[in-house]
Copies of this chain bind each other. A is one copy, B any other.
Amino acid sequence: MFKKISTLSLLLLLPSIALAGDELPTIASNADAIGLVQDHANYMWTLIAAALVFFMQAGFAMVESGFTRAKSAVNIMMKNLMDFSMGSLFFWAIGFGVMFGAAPTGWFGTDGFFLSGWTPGGDPWVLAFWMFQCVFAATAATIVSGAMAERTKFTGYLIYSAVLCAFIYPVFGSWAWGSLLNGGGWLEGMGFIDFAGSTVVHSIGGWAALAGAIVLGPRLGKYGKKGEVRAIPGHNIPMAAIGVFILWLGWFGFNPGSTTTADKSIAIIFVNTNLSAAAGAVAAMFTSWLIFKKPDIGMSLNGALAGLVGITAGCANVSPSSSIVIGLLSGILVVISVMAIDRAHIDDPVGAVSVHGVCGAWGTIAAGLFNMEGVTIKIMTTQFIGVGAAFVWSFGCAFILFKLISMTIGLRVTEEEEIMGVDISEHGAHAYNDFVVTR
């Protein structure tokens, strides 16, 4: 028996990788093998980070649904599921090539569609890199969902989501992060600092969300006849809170994963990400406490997200102390912005424009201001140009797109459908069948 047992460990030998082959190792073969092990670490890191960023989809779904009404929860889950599912397919077919393909015109890539940059036997790094970029594209798409909640036609939303993943996001992405063969995207060439996408991902999503909210108009009953603002409280605050925790977790993939390399630089990115989020939550809580006389849960949760968005551009080039300052200002800014947008009678049920658009812009400016290696007028000019370009491009494209959808197949459900809820009108389903639901 004992002998038998001892064989077990033979069965389970750790899979060995031929690092040096059968021949005796040499200095050169060792050096190659070291490079290969580091490559393996880079694959592992990039893909684990991609998995964490994927999970942010669940976080977005929970935040958006928790902050809106029970009668829209099925629709929100469908939108998020399809954001990511259709987004993955469109980013595979088109978006990745637009963002990272060779760009003869200098404005967007024109090859690498359908993952044709990889063929069997080819370099698997293309696949790992695609995976990480794919979850980023889907994040940009899903940001919009919240601002358009409770009143959007599902078909209209599907079209929008596909266009964002295939075109709006990747084109801007190519300016800031892609198309290296042509001397780099034009923003990249200017030295634009946006390490993990305060602008590239969050502002692009946030400004498209703004366009969507404007074209759609507010939910019925949100603003009274005399212009007064009426609160429409969310139906499940604990769900929204868990969603924020999931997003925070996912950001530990989003920011440090943007190295796509397992090296020591991930440490400061982790710390900065965490401190800015913490500072954002604390600042938003105290700001809301001052204004509303009570510490507000919705503002505090959005404050954490604001801090995360705010540090995304500068997470790799500012100090931990600066990241706290960035987070604090993000947390204050998000409260002010949410109130201002509401007063402008733009109905953004979850605060997506403030969190992602406004704090994304602020974070991009802050990445210049707090640059550890010093700030120059040139740096700041470039940061402002990037922020401005993102607004013009994303708001512009999305506004035209939503107008087109609105004029053709229609963007908004009917008044009747909105009153009964998009869950029933668009999907024929209730979210909470066994519960007594009001409103």
Contact = CB atoms under 8 A, between A and B. Distances in A.
A397 interface: no
A38 interface: yes
Interface in A12-49: 12-17, 19-20, 25-31, 33-35, 37-45, 47-48
A219 interface: no
Number of copies: 3
Contact of A5 (B111, B127, B300): B111
A110 B130 CA distance: 45
Contacts of A4: 101-102, 110-111
Nearest to A33: B34
A260 interface: yes
A40 B39 CA distance: 11
Interface in A172-195: 178-181
A244 to B, nearest CB: 7
Interface stretch (A232-240, A382-390, A400-408): A232-240
Given A8-B126, A88-B278, A31 B30 contact: yes
A321 B129 CA distance: 17
A10 B248 CA distance: 31
Interface residues on A, range: 35 or more
B435 A237 contact: no
Among A65, A238, A279, A435, the one with the most B-chain Cβ atoms within 10 Å of its Cβ is A238
Contact of A92 (B54, B89, B275): B275
B34 A270 contact: no
Contact of A180 (B11, B92, B111, B124): B11
Given A128-B270, A238-B239, A433-B439, 5 more contacts: A8-B101, A38-B40, A82-B285, A89-B278, A434-B438
A422 to B, nearest CB: 11
A181 B81 contact: no
Given A78-B297, A249-B54, A252-B54, A12 B129 contact: yes
A105 interface: no
Task: Report the 7 A-B pairs with minimum CB-CB distance, sorted nearest first.
Answer: A8-B117, A58-B245, A77-B241, A70-B434, A88-B278, A25-B31, A128-B267
A180 B20 CA distance: 25
Interface string A240-256: 01101110110011001
A405 B118 CA distance: 53
Contacts of A1: 111
Interface stretch (A198-206, A361-369, A423-431): A423-431
13 contacts: A7-B102, A7-B181, A9-B122, A12-B117, A14-B260, A17-B38, A19-B31, A47-B270, A85-B304, A118-B320, A234-B433, A237-B430, A296-B429
Contact of A58 (B74, B82, B242): B242
